[in-house]
């Protein structure tokens, strides 16, 4: 897809911009088969063909509390928080009256945090809680197509392979103390999860 879009951009490199400087856009994104939501994107025009982009993806928060009926089990609680942020620049090129292409680079960051606590009286107070943390910053290399619909609405498909670094710390009980397993990973992601489809809306901020 990246090769095809790159070729189209080269062909129409001298085309007019599709996005005026005062344009703003909001996107609602999901995976290609519509089973997983990726969050929201907001874009604002910087100049004739450059957009500043922010995205909030896959935010989640949950709290659970267990009070078991059986006496040999112990009450426990768990808190989960996670999400992702993206920010970057995007270039636009008009291909036809209804279709345009875009490409750009984003800084991306994802975080996940889990706090677990067991009220097991056989455990000392300082080892009843466990914390797991995962941080994953990186860069996304974005390209895609926009199909202009009516009344400011349009559809988008994009591919955003990522180069990333991931750090994780997983606490576990080891006897009478807590020990953390730490992992470091460098990777590149270009699978189906790097593809999004979006429904978007564009409006124009007023110019004094």
Residue 4 has pLDDT above 50, yes or no: no
- Look at residues 139, 126, 151, 148 and name the one whose alpha carbon lies nearest to residue 188: 139
Choice between 4 and 148, residue whose per-residue pLDDT is larger: 148
Least confident of 8-12, 86-90, 91-95, 199-203: 8-12
Structure tokens given for 35 = 């089973």
Q: Which residues contact 96 (CB under 8 A, 6 or more apart)?
A: none
Domains along the chain with CATH numbers = 2-204 (2.40.160)
Choice between 145 and 38, residue whose per-residue pLDDT is larger: 145
Backbone phi and psi for residue 137, each to the nearest 5 degrees, phi listed first: -85, 160
User: Are the CB atoms for 36 and 30 separated by under 8 Å?
Assistant: yes
Rounded to two decimals, the pTM is: 0.75
Average pLDDT on 116-142 reads 91
Average pLDDT, the chain: 84
Residue 44 has pLDDT above 50, yes or no: yes
* Highest mean pLDDT pick, 25-39, 79-93, 163-177, 192-206: 79-93
Q: Point out which residues pair with 26 in neighbouring strands.
A: 42, 201
pLDDT of residue 11: 38
Distance CA 146, CA 10 (A): 17
């Amino acid at each position: 897809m990246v090769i095809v879009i790159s070729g189209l951009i080269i062909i129409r490199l001298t085309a007019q911009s599709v996005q005026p400087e005062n344009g703003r856009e909001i996107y609602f994104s999901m995976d290609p088969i519509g089973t997983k939501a990726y969050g929201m994107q907001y874009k604002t025009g910087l100049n004739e063909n450059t957009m500043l982009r922010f995205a909030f993806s896959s935010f989640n928060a949950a709290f659970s509390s267990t009070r078991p009926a059986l006496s040999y089990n112990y009450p426990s609680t768990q808190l989960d928080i996670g999400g992702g942020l993206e920010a970057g620049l995007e270039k636009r090129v008009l291909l036809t009256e209804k279709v345009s292409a875009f490409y750009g680079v984003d800084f991306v960051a994802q975080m996940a945090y889990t706090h677990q606590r067991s009220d097991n009286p056989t455990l000392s107070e300082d080892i009843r809680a466990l914390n797991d943390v995962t941080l994953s910053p990186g860069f996304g290399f974005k390209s895609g197509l926009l199909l202009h619909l009516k009344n400011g609405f349009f559809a988008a498909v994009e591919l955003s392979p990522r180069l990333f670094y991931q750090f994780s710390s997983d606490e576990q009980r080891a006897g009478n103390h807590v020990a953390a397993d730490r992992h470091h990973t460098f990777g590149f992601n270009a699978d189906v999860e790097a593809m999004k489809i979006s429904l978007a809306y564009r409006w124009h901020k007023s110019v004094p």
